[in-house]
Amino acid sequence: MYQRICTALRWLALLLLAVTFSWASQQSLCAQTGPPNLPPATPPPSSSAPQQEGASIWIYVGAVVALGVIGAIIALVVLQPNKSKKEPTLSYSSERLGDYRLLNLLMTGQTSQVWEVAEISSGRHFAIKMLLPECAKVAEHRRFLFHEAEVGQQLAHPNIIRVVRIVRDPNVPHFVMDFFPGGNLKLRILRKEWDFIKEHAQEILKQAATALAFINAKGWVHRDVKPDNLLVSSSGETRVIDLAIAQRIPTGLAKIFRKKGKIQGTRSYMSPEQIRNEPLDGRADIYSFGATCYEIVTGRPPFRGTSAQDLLNKHLTEKPISPRVHNPEVTEEFAQLVLQMLAKNKEHRPQSFHEVLMALRKIRVFSAVKKSKT
């Protein structure tokens, strides 16, 4: 509200100055030339008269300019919110955050934590993602957290975690989302839960592709598709998470005049165009999804490097080997689909997740599926 008032006053001051200078210019011109084609009824005025009239005009202009400057100062200073005034904050302890009781720490990242919580007023379970204390007042970290939450609120889909509430607290910024009883798929890969993966891989990939198709259709590219960002329950139910670096798909002139930002993503899954910081569309997510599929069925990503730069170079130049080399139980049809998604040229990949879904419905991931006991 304050910003709107300040902006309005600034524009008003500029408009006032423009009108004043326009009027002053007209008056000055009239004073110098006089009315056209009329004979003088009186003797011409002395030379001091025009000077006095011009001086009065510029005195008026100066007064208006001074008023405009004063108005701008008022808009910039007086009407700005009082930053010295302490903002209201949530009650926070090791056991409680506002109306939520902290139950279990689910994940700790570089800048944030995710907790399972219970709403005190209703007893319902949710998850809360909050910034770590040392990151809570860092503008960049706050921006990413709130961006993730705001995009999540726009993308209501059964296979995307629902964001319930955003809290822009100055000390404990966080957002509340649905609690999903299942860890991420990366953990199951690291634990080598191959029976579970073989039984549920087909449905997991279909659900993830459905969610990503929805994200792309809404005009967003996820930019960080990987096993870590797929939550999977014991029954194979799947949710896509972490939209912190999701980006609008540029269209029209935005492709030409877009502002290049920092290259972001996870190196093991980044598409060549993402590494080159080019405009991205859904096909970048398809490449990352291909790398994710590769790791799900083989236990390793398609490329490994001796350094971060070596790994990125392999995404740009090296052809991936078939996942069947690492796991012969993968069907030839699925292996070919994965390699197609990993094409360096985005024109050679499936052009949308709808194409990926159509292929997944026609083929099997594994040649023989063994039912897991869990």
How many CB atoms lie under 10 A from the CB of residue 220?
A: 20
Of the CATH numbers 1.10.150.80, 1.10.510.10, 2.60.40.420, 3.30.70.2740, which one belongs to the domain with range 185-362?
1.10.510.10
Rounded Cα distance, 370 and 228, in Å: 24
The DSSP 8-state label assigned to residue 260 in this structure reads P
pLDDT in tens, 233-246: 999 999 999 999 99
Residues of the chain with pLDDT under 70: 1-93, 253-258, 369-374
- pLDDT (0 to 100) of residue 256: 66
Whole-Å CA distances, 246 to 110, 153, 219 = 18, 13, 10
Whether 96-178 shares its CATH topology with 185-362 is answered no
Q: Residue 327: which of 209, 183, 201, 224 has the closest Cα? A: 201
- pLDDT (0 to 100) of residue 79: 46
pLDDT in tens, 47-92: 555 555 555 555 655 665 566 556 555 555 444 444 334 445 565 6
pLDDT in tens, 134-159: 999 999 999 999 999 999 999 999 99
Domain ranges of the chain: 1-30+57-80, 96-178, 185-362
- pLDDT (0 to 100) of residue 87: 43
Rounded Cα distance, 32 and 23, in Å: 14
Q: What is the pTM of this model?
A: 0.74
- pLDDT (0 to 100) of residue 289: 98
Q: Identify the burial level of 329 via C-beta atoms within 10 angstroms of its C-beta, where 0-12 means exposed, 13-18 middle and 19 or more buried.
A: middle
Q: Give me the sign of the Cα torsion angle 7, 11, 16, 17.
A: positive
Rounded Cα distance, 170 and 81, in Å: 15
Determine the CATH number of domain 96-178. 3.30.200.20
